[in-house]
Structure 1
Amino acid sequence: MRSVVGARTAVAVAATVGVVAAGVVAGGVGAGQATAVDKVRLAADVPVAPGIGYRAFSVTGSHGVVSGHLVTADLTNRRVSVDLLTPGTVSSRVPLSQMVAAQGAVAGVNADFFNIEESQHVGVAPTNSAVGPAVAHGEALKAAVPDGQRFGPGLPPGTSTRDVIGVGYDKRARLDELTLKGSVRTRSSAFDLGGFNQYAVPEGGVGAFTPKWGDVSRQRAVCGTDTVRAAACSTDAYEVTVRNGRVVSGSATIGAGAIAEGSVVLVGREAGADRLRALRTGEKVTVVDRLTSTSGKRFEFAVGGFPVLRDGEPLPGLDTKAAATRTAAGIGDRGRLLYLLVLDGSAESGAGLTVAEVADVLDTVGADAGVNLDGGGSSTLVTRDPATGAPVVRNHPTGGAERPVPEGIGLFSR
């Protein structure tokens, strides 16, 4: 049967098999350094949809043999598109297979790390909101928390929570950085916006929350500091509700509940709280929230993830010790190919791959750039059964069942 991942993808995979057969893996954690990854073995390609194919694989890492799953998408195929999978708000989460089915995707993986627990902050509920930026259908949904507030393994040098993998309107995938460029303006004053639908507002800043946030409490936004996630919640906080461009209320209590359409809730801490206290009921306020990319490119889809591979070389400083179940996404052929990769859940037995090994595996299967995404119990890869149309979980999730997640990378076929 002819592969449906496209001629370009078939060539890339054929080249990969030649490398794998020889047991040679390029890359490492730095110049002259190599990881223990060896003998990546790819199974036969299984068609998912025109331009999209699935393969199982196995790899021998430093902690033993690991099974994995790989989906390859040819972005030059006019039928293929990529978008964010979401439950509808940034502070909710559901199993990935439900998002795939609800949005009509043909394949998907879980995406960014998220605020899954708050054991340090007594009485503060986790928000389920992701660490980094998110763009869906060309619309910015959220910005990134401060680096010190992130969940997940340590960031490699030179990276930040603002790093994303995404696809532009030119249908090319790329790694980039998305920064919040927002403001709050009145007739007599103006100040920068420090947060946008994110679970942590920078110290002294003001964050904006829209209906896309959901109904989870916004209290977590004023907890921790820019460098210490577990630091105490600020005792100097204030929030203001703006509806149809005018202030309708203010409160020293940070609230919860759904935000009405046409409304924005501003939450400030320390100096940001002072700025909000100065606003008066009925005052006209303009809130601007937008994300800008370092490259200047516009994204139709983007999601947070920390880079592990650039220009075919692993980033320096990647962890070489801790092995775990991983999820990753890679880019090949100058942005024309997108790779989604997930490992089987086996963290309980000490197996899995290190972050450095994940970079090498991405390199081996054909990627020249890639990011590490949320792993462990979140790692899930789903493809549509071509016969029934039902979503099928391809990997074996840690713990035996899907963990609900707040977002994923979805592949679509028109």
Structure 2
Amino acid sequence: MRRRHVGMCAAALAGAVIAGTAAAGGAQAAAGAVTYGRSERLARGVDYREFTADSANGVVHGHVITIDLRDPRVRVDLLTPGTVAARAPVSQLADTRRATAAVNGDFFDIEESQHPGVTPTGSSVGPEIGSGRPLKAAVPTAQRFGPGLPAGETTRDVLGVGTDRRARLDTLTLHGRVRTAAGSYPLGGFNQYALPVGGTGAYTADWGAAPRGRAVCGSDTSRAAGCSTDTYEVAVRAGRVVSVAEAPGAGAVPRGTTVLLGRDAGADTLRTLRPGDRVRVDEHLAPSAAHVPYAFAVGGFPVLRAGAPLAGLDDRTAATRTAAGFGDHGRTLRLLALDGSAEANAGLTVAELAGVMQELGCDNAVNLDGGGSSTLVARDPGAGAVTVRNHPAGGVERPVANGIGVFAAG
């Protein structure tokens, strides 16, 4: 693994105080100071900086990329391994796309110990939009993999950048229909590793080759619930059914084909279709707040909104964290990752993370996948490959489902 860890400057800038955040149990998050270290310009409009922060458990070391979205030569986009149900190290994701910098993204389906014989898909929890194109929708909130969400938040939460070059927090909800000669039915999933009970999901070439059997496991209230045996699949190409099957399939979906997978009541609906029947499948990720299309969006749960930490954030569990946030009315984006050594020493609670993002200049921020996934990479001007700037837990990069890539022309 390529790594370059820049040493801290002896003369650090003055620190700023992290505001304490009260948790539901009344405990107060420890206050501390953010102290900046060496900074480096990676490209015009893209800067890298190290920092340390005091936490209740000790000093943590972190790394932050600051992106000026006002600069027309700078943009951000979703990084993926090429398909939704796949994983790759952040450095590989960045080098494949020639990104200037990147961090890991959303939580993902990494293990299936609750479902013996079921292979983890590696697919992310939340929605994905890359290069302006929707790639997947969110799994049911009860089926997410990762720590508990703040009250009122769901797997549909995203951080995105619109075609107007402004960052936003939003929710993306799947709006889709399966239209047949017999009627029109709601689409319950789009390239996602878990379907709602009674739902029908659509899988395209963007899904990849992972088995689709995981999609019928769990329920709307429990990730650990068993797998449905009442299933049915229909493959649609050029607007007509070309094949049917009783069980979820595996293998890559051919480009131009859509596989519909139903469980329970959704399976009953699909059983009415026969080869040759006409079928139209529509899917759309509808934002709740934005009035402009998204060029990029990634799932993550909010910790900071409209300048204030969310109520009830966890202030007890410290861990290595990755986060993304923005200020200046969405014009300045910041990507953060902690050193993995914090996993054994200090780390930040989610409440402390919100405070750090606030001190870094963010009014809105999301917590991304952390622990062994936390990775931040950057490319020196003119370098042929990125270097890993933080210290991932265990000393090696964990393959992840997606990332946030920063691109700077010239």
TM-score by length of 2: 0.94
Q: Does 1:51 align with 2:57?
A: no
Contact 1:344-1:397 within 8 A present in 2 as well: yes
**Match of 2:178?**
184
**Match of 2:137?**
143
Q: Does 1:227 align with 2:221?
A: yes
With over 3 angstroms needed to count, the CA separation of the structure-2 counterparts of 1:54 and 1:393, relative to structure 1, is same
Tell me the amino acid that sits aligned with residue 85 of structure 1.
L
Structure 1 residues 321-361: Cα deviation after superposition (integer angstroms, max 9, x where no partner): 11000000011110000000000002552421101110000
SS at the partner of 2:206?
helix
SS at the partner of 1:92?
coil
Contact 1:56-1:68 within 8 A present in 2 as well: yes
**Match of 1:310?**
305
Task: Write the distance in 1 (CA, Å) between the matches of 2:308 and 2:225.
Answer: 36
Deviation at 1:21, TM superposition (A): 2.5
Task: Write the distance in 2 (CA, Å) between the matches of 1:134 and 1:128.
Answer: 14
Deviation at 1:22, TM superposition (A): 5.4
**Match of 2:339?**
344
Deviation at 1:261, TM superposition (A): 1.1
Q: Does 1:252 align with 2:246?
A: yes
Contact 2:28-2:315 within 8 A present in 1 as well: no
Q: Does 1:357 align with 2:352?
A: yes
Structure 1 residues 31-57: Cα deviation after superposition (integer angstroms, max 9, x where no partner): 998521411111132001110000011
Tell me the amino acid that sits aligned with residue 127 of structure 1.
T
With over 3 angstroms needed to count, the CA separation of the structure-2 counterparts of 1:29 and 1:307, relative to structure 1, is farther
Q: Does 1:281 align with 2:275?
A: yes
**Match of 1:25?**
18
Tell me the amino acid that sits aligned with residue 261 of structure 1.
R
Structure 1 residues 164-192: Cα deviation after superposition (integer angstroms, max 9, x where no partner): 00000000001000000001001221100
Tell me the amino acid that sits aligned with residue 353 of structure 1.
L
Q: Does 1:61 align with 2:55?
A: yes
Q: Does 1:330 align with 2:325?
A: yes
Deviation at 1:386, TM superposition (A): 1.5
Q: How does 1:15-414 map to 2 (within 5 A)?
A: 21=14, 23-26=16-19, 28-29=21-22, 35-297=29-291, 298-346=293-341, 348-414=343-409
Cα RMSD between the aligned structures?
1.7
With over 3 angstroms needed to count, the CA separation of the structure-2 counterparts of 1:294 and 1:133, relative to structure 1, is same
SS at the partner of 1:119?
coil
Contact 2:18-2:352 within 8 A present in 1 as well: no
Task: Write the distance in 2 (CA, Å) between the matches of 1:348 and 1:174.
Answer: 30
Tell me the amino acid that sits aligned with residue 131 of structure 2.
H
Deviation at 1:311, TM superposition (A): 1.1
With over 3 angstroms needed to count, the CA separation of the structure-2 counterparts of 1:254 and 1:138, relative to structure 1, is same
Contact 2:23-2:315 within 8 A present in 1 as well: no
SS at the partner of 1:43?
strand
Stretch moving more, 345-354 or 165-174: 345-354
Contact 2:15-2:36 within 8 A present in 1 as well: no
Stretch moving more, 287-296 or 123-132: 287-296
Deviation at 1:23, TM superposition (A): 4.4
Tell me the amino acid that sits aligned with residue 94 of structure 2.
V
Tell me the amino acid that sits aligned with residue 338 of structure 2.
L
Where in structure 1 are there 5+ consecutive unaligned residues?
1-16
Tell me the amino acid that sits aligned with residue 118 of structure 1.
E
Tell me the amino acid that sits aligned with residue 336 of structure 2.
L
Task: Write the distance in 1 (CA, Å) between the matches of 2:248 and 2:16.
Answer: 57
Stretch moving more, 343-352 or 97-106: 343-352
Contact 1:166-1:301 within 8 A present in 2 as well: yes
Task: Write the distance in 2 (CA, Å) between the matches of 1:265 and 1:188.
Answer: 19
Task: Write the distance in 1 (CA, Å) between the matches of 2:382 and 2:182.
Answer: 62
Tell me the amino acid that sits aligned with residue 333 of structure 1.
D
Deviation at 1:387, TM superposition (A): 4.2
With over 3 angstroms needed to count, the CA separation of the structure-2 counterparts of 1:337 and 1:343, relative to structure 1, is same
Tell me the amino acid that sits aligned with residue 328 of structure 1.
A
With over 3 angstroms needed to count, the CA separation of the structure-2 counterparts of 1:400 and 1:186, relative to structure 1, is same
SS at the partner of 2:278?
coil
Stretch moving more, 230-239 or 140-149: 230-239
TM-score by length of 1: 0.93
Deviation at 1:296, TM superposition (A): 4.0
Structure 1 residues 362-406: Cα deviation after superposition (integer angstroms, max 9, x where no partner): 000100000000000000000002242320100000011000111
Task: Write the distance in 2 (CA, Å) between the matches of 1:411 and 1:254.
Answer: 37
Task: Write the distance in 2 (CA, Å) between the matches of 1:29 and 1:253.
Answer: 49
Contact 1:247-1:285 within 8 A present in 2 as well: yes
Deviation at 1:30, TM superposition (A): 6.8
With over 3 angstroms needed to count, the CA separation of the structure-2 counterparts of 1:29 and 1:331, relative to structure 1, is farther
